[in-house]
Chains A and B, each alone.
Chain A
Amino acid sequence: MSRAAASAALALLLLARPGAAAERRFAVVAGQPDGGSGTVRLRFAERDARRIHAILTRLGGVAEGDARLLLSPDAAEVRRALGDLFEQSRRAAAAGDSTTLFFYYSGHAKDGELRLGHSRLPLAELRAALHGAPADVRVALLDSCQSGAITRSKGVRRAPAFDVARDGGQGPRGLVLIASSAASEDSQESDYIGGSFFTHYLASGLLGDADVSGDGKVTLAEAYAYAYGRTVASTADTAGGIQHPVYQYDLGGSGDVVLTEIDPAAALVLPAPLEGHYVVLDSGSRAVAEVSKGPGAPRRLALPPGSYTVKKRLAAGDALLVGDVTLAKGAVDLDEGRMRRVPLSRDPQKGFSGARWSLLAGLGYQGFFSAAARDGYFPPAALGGLELSSRDDLGHGLAWGMDLSAGGGGSFLSLSGGVPPIKVQFGEVSGGASLWLDYPAGPLTLSAGGRVAFIYLSRRFPDRAELRSQYFFTVTPGLVAAAAWRFSPSLAAVARGRVNYLFYNVDGNKSLGFAELMLGVEYALGN
């Protein structure tokens, strides 16, 4: 069934209202970036969890006290949180309340297990626990590789939407399992959007963009259909391959589950005439929602109060409209007339997490490749330097930096013909601009790129006052490679090598290469 057809069908449904009288909702939301040995640390798992937790508690009818946000938990913590909320749900049910339990997880999964650091939580155990959980409706949302394995038992479907029963009588009862990828697929994160694809689109949908019916309520079916379509579309051209969310839907009773309600009086409103693809960034330049809107009906995004940047890619493809919006209480219409047009080259892509600035300080060694050059011209030198760099400013994984270093050394210059060695004090100042690509692999980031530097070399002869000091300056192109080991959120140990080429021509063309090796510490600014 197409998404449009599903949406049309869903528009006919009677919907259960979240937060209605005598309904309690509970949520366990977990994000674990560490999958133990053999896995790469995820960058956005904890952020995914925070986003979903915030949406459920703000818009999804889950009271703060009924939600558990677990960041980097192990399996035991997850079991404890589930057990705790099972107990609370049981009491609520005993008091006559209808109950809904959400379980969300962003992290690694493999071989039929959620990998929570060095601990494991079998999917079969999780499925069984949710199946028997004392809540009328249990919804599990798993954003992890091969998480579709949880739906293997029966009735798993890889489809853009699911049908919802329209029986009369009581509201929905049962279990819904939704996984971000099929049992054989990887779930992918994206630096562009600052999160995993599935959670990003799920969150966008929950904030209002999935409300195809326009009734101000985002149902489970709407959210799934929205997240499915956007995830498949966005991963169609990724190296990881297309990612297909899957579901197992086993709801009795009638109607769909309303996940969030959009308060029309407190939202960012995209008025009816607007159309296009919009990205909403928070004050930290992190994507919080995406909207693909056609003309004809307004679209509301239930964002919390704060300052946001809205970007719209123009049809010409070479520019963006960028505008700032401040939300307090009440609805705010997006006014495209007040958005500024900027070249696309200056846009940090959709969902871009913002330029990341860092300062590197280090000490190193410099040596020229030619022994004759070392003896007669450029002795080995010790260098100290600083580099200010910006990552993801020019593009994904692309970084640039400006560096300044100074140093020197001492040696004896040997001339031919029995001339006594001349004591030399060698000095150097250089400043350069580098452009490189980062290849992150967990806490280790490898980098490679190019650099152009201005270099000023000088030497003087302290024991020979009659010999005048000498200097030379030129531009040196070169290559740079580095390995950085991030040992804290703000600090990384860096080993960096440069190979440069010096255009030297005073004594004829003696141009030659030289290398620099440096060890340093990099401090991430603003993190």
Chain B
Amino acid sequence: MRWATSIAAAALLAGCGNYSTEDLEFAEALPTRETLQVRLPGPVSQGAAAQAAVACGSLGEATGWLQARAIGVGVNAGLDWILRVVDYLRTVEPTRRERNARTWGPFPDEKHPGFQSRIRLTRTFQGEEPTYHFFFESLPPGGGRWRALITGDFVGAYAARGRGNVTLHFTVIRELGLNDSASDPTADVPIDYDRTGEPRTVSLTIPAGAGGFGLIDFPYTWSSYADGRGQFDFARQDAAGNRFVWQARFTADGAGRGDITIYPASNPSASYPLSACWDAGACYTAASDLFNVAQLCGPAATCVVNWPAGCPTAFQQ
């Protein structure tokens, strides 16, 4: 009993608690959902899209643009790995505090019995500017060495105005059998963000053949401007295997222009450019398809309609 009293007295004298300003500094350096997630304007539901389709003119609805939202969801799914981790870090105080490091764990991995997890966030400085180094690691059953599942470097004291990168190490995740599903990527997925100026960008690269998140291999890049404009570079593939590479530019209300390159499955060495614009209701308002590969004009040799006058003013060039 005496030793317990002594320990309690020593603890009181030394102080207890999580009252840490440096914890806040570490927290502010972590990217947030706001920082990373892709947000696309436009119809938010199928019902709204259907109504738009009914009201669209002869060029019809901008189906490719409507599919961009699904692509964005895939990108966000990839980002969700890191976002879940950083959200967790904001709710649980560190297990260990050091001058330039915080450690959470090790904790038992409840989804994967026998595994242990830990997160480390360290800090280095280049001049006054800090860089935070992130490690989400797993220790397999039976010991061995800690393996990094997610790593990242966050440059700047404030992630909302910083830049950085995160790498999802799916090769290690799959090696350890920690992948959520067979559809997870088969290669490491790098993510970069830069919010130091305009445009603010987030990119997620699916390496060739890696798949995952419902995405085909492509360096998906989302850019945004303070006035609500944005750009989303993405790729999709239809059931026939035709590959559509999009550079979609859009206004705050969702009107936009897509510059698309189509790579037909039948002839991988060929490509066909086309451009189209749409309004806030996701109806095509102009098209420039010299080979009418999209057949927006029906069975015609070429399809140039209302071009570029039908595009949002900002995107007529």
Chains A and B bind each other? yes
Q: Residues of A at under 8 Å CB distance from B?
A: 376-377, 413, 415-420, 422, 454, 457-459, 466-468, 470-475, 502-508
B91 proximal to A (CB < 8 A): yes
Cβ contacts under 8 Å, B129 to chain A: 417
Min C-beta distance of A459 to chain B, whole Å: 7
Closest-by-CB residue of B relative to A465 is B90
Min C-beta distance of A462 to chain B, whole Å: 14
Given A417-B157, A468-B90, are A377 and B21 also a contact pair (CB < 8 Å)? yes
Cβ contacts under 8 Å, B22 to chain A: 507
CA distance A506 to B96 in the complex (A): 10
CA distance A450 to B252 in the complex (A): 65
Closest-by-CB residue of B relative to A373 is B21
Name A475's contact: one of B13, B27, B32 (CB within 8 Å).
B13
Cβ contacts under 8 Å, B158 to chain A: 415, 417-420
Indicate if the CB atoms of A472 and B24 lie closer than 8 Å.
Answer: no
B143 proximal to A (CB < 8 A): no
Known: A416-B157, A419-B25, A470-B18. 15 other contacts (CB 8 A): A376-B21, A415-B157, A415-B158, A416-B25, A417-B157, A417-B158, A418-B161, A466-B87, A472-B19, A473-B12, A474-B13, A474-B15, A503-B14, A505-B14, A507-B97
CA distance A508 to B21 in the complex (A): 11
Given A415-B28, A457-B19, A507-B20, are A467 and B14 also a contact pair (CB < 8 Å)? no
Closest-by-CB residue of B relative to A376 is B21
| Interface pairs A-B: 3 shortest CB-CB | A417-B157, A472-B17, A472-B19
B99 proximal to A (CB < 8 A): yes
Q: Residues of B at under 8 Å CB distance from A?
A: 12-25, 27-28, 32, 87, 90-91, 93, 97, 99, 128-130, 156-158, 161
Closest-by-CB residue of B relative to A417 is B157
Min C-beta distance of B242 to chain A, whole Å: 43
CA distance A418 to B20 in the complex (A): 19
Indicate if the CB atoms of A474 and B21 lie closer than 8 Å.
Answer: no
Cβ contacts under 8 Å, B91 to chain A: 468
Name B17's contact: one of A454, A466, A473 (CB within 8 Å).
A473
CA distance A267 to B12 in the complex (A): 57
Cβ contacts under 8 Å, B97 to chain A: 506-507
Indicate if the CB atoms of B20 and A506 lie closer than 8 Å.
Answer: yes
Min C-beta distance of B226 to chain A, whole Å: 16
Cβ contacts under 8 Å, A503 to chain B: 13-15
Min C-beta distance of B148 to chain A, whole Å: 25
Min C-beta distance of B126 to chain A, whole Å: 12
CA distance A422 to B160 in the complex (A): 14
Cβ contacts under 8 Å, B12 to chain A: 454, 473-475
Name B15's contact: one of A420, A467, A472 (CB within 8 Å).
A472
Given A413-B21, A468-B91, are A473 and B156 also a contact pair (CB < 8 Å)? no
Name A470's contact: one of B13, B20, B157 (CB within 8 Å).
B20
Cβ contacts under 8 Å, A416 to chain B: 25, 128, 157
A–B Cβ pairs within 8 angstroms, 14 of them: A415-B28, A415-B158, A417-B158, A418-B161, A419-B28, A466-B32, A467-B90, A468-B90, A470-B23, A471-B18, A474-B14, A504-B19, A506-B17, A506-B97
Pick the most buried of A458, A505, A506, A508: most chain B CB atoms within 10 A of its CB.
Answer: A506
CA distance A420 to B161 in the complex (A): 10
CA distance A504 to B19 in the complex (A): 9
Name A506's contact: one of B19, B32, B156 (CB within 8 Å).
B19
Pick the most buried of B28, B99, B158: most chain A CB atoms within 10 A of its CB.
Answer: B28
Indicate if the CB atoms of A473 and B90 lie closer than 8 Å.
Answer: no
Indicate if the CB atoms of B157 and A505 lie closer than 8 Å.
Answer: no
CA distance A256 to B13 in the complex (A): 71
CA distance A422 to B25 in the complex (A): 11
Cβ contacts under 8 Å, A468 to chain B: 18, 90-91, 93
CA distance A323 to B12 in the complex (A): 43
Indicate if the CB atoms of B19 and A505 lie closer than 8 Å.
Answer: no
Indicate if the CB atoms of B24 and A473 lie closer than 8 Å.
Answer: no
Pick the most buried of A377, A419, A454, A457: most chain B CB atoms within 10 A of its CB.
Answer: A419
Closest-by-CB residue of A relative to B98 is A508
